[in-house]
Amino acid sequence: MAHVVADLLSDTVTKPTPAMRQAMARAEVGDDVFGEDPTLRTLEERVAGLLGHEAGLFTPSGSMANQLGVRLHAGPGVELIADSLAHVVRAELGAAAALSGITSRTWVAEAGRFRAEDATSLMITGVGPYQVCTGVVVVENTHNFGGGTVQSLEEIRAAREATRAAGVAMHLDGARLWNAHVATGVPLEDYGRAFDTVSVCLSKGLGAPVGSVLVGSSEAIAEARVWRKRFGGGMRQAGILAAAGLYALDHNIERLRDDHERAHRAAEAIAEAAPGSLDPDSVQTNILIADVSAAGWSAADFVAAALDAGVRLYAVGAAKVRFVWHLDVDDAATDHAISVVRDLMLLRTRERTVQGRTGR
């Protein structure tokens, strides 16, 4: 494997910086299962405050924060509904069913874009002898497999009104809510208050090595604390991880703007090299998904060829490739990635032109 110059596999690949490690080393810690870790308490309170909720709970992963969130609003024989590309239904290994007996139904959303009507028309409420009951609607913002899509607050609020009237809860998978906030300027609190529970990740674009936080009412979070222990997520001196999260909140939110700009610059170059592969205007945050079949490639071959040239990418299905910017990919690495991807795209286009001319 070639030396990786631009690791665009995911924003989860970041490594803690020396300054973040120093903050971790200095952290005051205690046994959190006994509620004695002061740094963890500080992080939980801070994130809850940022999102306009009463309380927060640190978890080892975004998946656990999501699974605790949905567990609070649904249980065996009750369903969650979400779009078909949502992380909670597509990439958490069936955890809602495996751990909580929750069934899932989905709607199809173009680029993962949330529309209130899609969700509310799917809800089933009222107890009947045949139909499953909807416990919770899950919204993902930004939307990972949709291509970093930012959700409309208006649509979220419309859904909130309808779900509240129907007695259905709303959970936000806000693994990358920070990116939505930076891209739109919408306060985190405005997004947060539109949901019963919200999960956010510190280990994606914010660059912490581990950790997510679930926020909600004091009562909901007290219950989540019990479920977290049942799920095996009770931690001891985890303040050392919380310190990385606090450092990330202090230093790494506003800089997400740089990731968005780099993603947009790359999107323009890719669209120019391979028209039809993506619309640069659809790239709103740090993720772009390109249809490499527009340049005659399969996703798997493109990813392998890019890796040989030092660019690590992720194949999403047969024809699409995902690129994710983060704090370990600077301008120089972005330039390298753009030049490699442009060459690969143009290579196939040239090969096809030659084949067309020679009839082969």
Contact stretch for ligand PLP (CB under 6 A) within 55-63, 105-113, 251-259, 284-292:
55-63
Find the shortest distance in angstroms from Cβ 142 to ligand PLP.
8
* Cα 180 from Cα 173, distance rounded (Å): 12
140 binds ligand PLP (CB under 6 A): yes
Cis peptide before 358 (omega within 30 of 0): no
173 binds ligand PLP (CB under 6 A): yes
3-state SS track over the chain: CCCCCEECCCCCCCCCCHHHHHHHHHCCCCCHHHCCCHHHHHHHHHHHHHCCCCEEEEECCHHHHHHHHHHHHCCCCEEEEEECCCHHHHCCCCHHHHHHCCEEEEECCHHHCCCHHHHHCCCCCCCCCCCCEEEEEEEECCEHHHHCECCCHHHHHHHHHHHHHHCCEEEEEECCHHHHHHHHCCCHHHHHHCCCEEEEECCCCCCCCCCEEEEECHHHHHHHHHHHHHCCCCCCCCHHHHHHHHHHHHHCCCCHHHHHHHHHHHHHHHHHHCCCCCCHHHCCCCEEEEEHHHHCCCHHHHHHHHHHCCEECEEECCCEEEEECCCCCCHHHHHHHHHHHHHHHHHHHHHHHHHHHHCC
284 binds ligand PLP (CB under 6 A): no
171 binds ligand PLP (CB under 6 A): no
259 binds ligand PLP (CB under 6 A): no
Contact stretch for ligand PLP (CB under 6 A) within 60-68, 109-117, 177-185, 238-246:
60-68
201 binds ligand PLP (CB under 6 A): yes
Per-residue mark of binding to ligand PLP, 76-115 (x: CB under 6 A): -----------x----------------------------
69 binds ligand PLP (CB under 6 A): no
200 binds ligand PLP (CB under 6 A): no
By beta-carbon proximity to ligand PLP, the closer residue of 88 and 305 is 88
Among the listed residues 175, 235, 238, 249, the single contact to ligand PLP using CB under 6 A: 175
At residue 58, the 3 state secondary structure works out as strand
**Binding to ligand PLP in span 289-348, by CB under 6 A:** none
62 binds ligand PLP (CB under 6 A): yes
Contact stretch for ligand PLP (CB under 6 A) within 43-51, 57-65, 244-252, 331-339:
57-65
Going by C-alpha positions, the residue among 135, 147, 209, 139 that lies closest to residue 174 is 139
By beta-carbon proximity to ligand PLP, the closer residue of 196 and 344 is 196
217 binds ligand PLP (CB under 6 A): no
By beta-carbon proximity to ligand PLP, the closer residue of 37 and 140 is 140
144 binds ligand PLP (CB under 6 A): yes
By beta-carbon proximity to ligand PLP, the closer residue of 82 and 168 is 82
Contact stretch for ligand PLP (CB under 6 A) within 26-34, 58-66, 95-103, 345-353:
58-66
Find the shortest distance in angstroms from Cβ 181 to ligand PLP.
15
Find the shortest distance in angstroms from Cβ 346 to ligand PLP.
31
149 binds ligand PLP (CB under 6 A): no
Q: How many helices (H) and strands (E) would you count in the chain?
A: 15, 12
HSE at residue 44, side-chain half, CA atoms within 13 A, is 26
Interface residues with ligand PLP (CB under 6 A) are: 12, 61-63, 66, 87, 140, 144, 173, 175, 201, 203, 212
